Amino acid sequence: MRTSLTYCAVGLIGLLAIGCEGTVSLIPDADPNLRQPPAVFAADAAKRHYEADAQKIPDKDFRAQYALIVHQVDLANISSQDWHDVEVWINGTYVLHIPYFEKKSDKTLYFTMFYDQNGHHFDTNYGQNPIKKIEVFRGGAMYSVVDHVAD
């Protein structure tokens, strides 16, 4: 009996791994815009450019925490208004476009959703590429998000 359970568990893990190929997380995101395969995120990032000349403003509408162990950023819109066409930037290089971000809501953003212009997703590379800053570009300005490590 124990051997049968072991085989079933191994088979289930194998099926999950096959079923998740081409996705950024095991659990589908509630936001359909964030339920895209990695290639879609990479193609979108290739079209975006970091607006280095944009006005820099401390952000009072977003808060973030990142969990290095599970490779994700939890971003919250704590404002009283919905935001459209939000770009979230990590270190001024990796970007994720969020078409609609509801007021008083939060989103779990996986590192595999953030891409640079060369099609590489964000990875800390075992501490060699730490998160130095998280910024949100919206309305023609670049906002510095208050963030901290959650681990």
pLDDT digits (tens, 9 = 90+) for 10-45: 343 333 333 344 556 556 667 788 999 999 999 999
Specify if 43 maps to a domain: yes
Which among 80, 100, 97, 104 has a CA at the least distance from the CA of 137? Answer: 97
Copy the structure tokens of residue 129: 């590429």
Number of structural domains found in the chain: 1
Q: What would the mean pLDDT of 131-143 be, rounded to a whole number?
A: 95
Specify if 52 maps to a domain: yes
Q: Examine the pLDDT at 50 and tell me if it is beyond 90.
A: yes
Specify if 120 maps to a domain: yes
Q: What would the mean pLDDT of 34-59 be, rounded to a whole number?
A: 95
Is the pLDDT higher at 78 or at 69?
Answer: 78
Q: Which domain holds residue 61?
A: 24-149
The span from the CA of 8 to the CA of 119, in Å, is 37
Specify if 1 maps to a domain: no
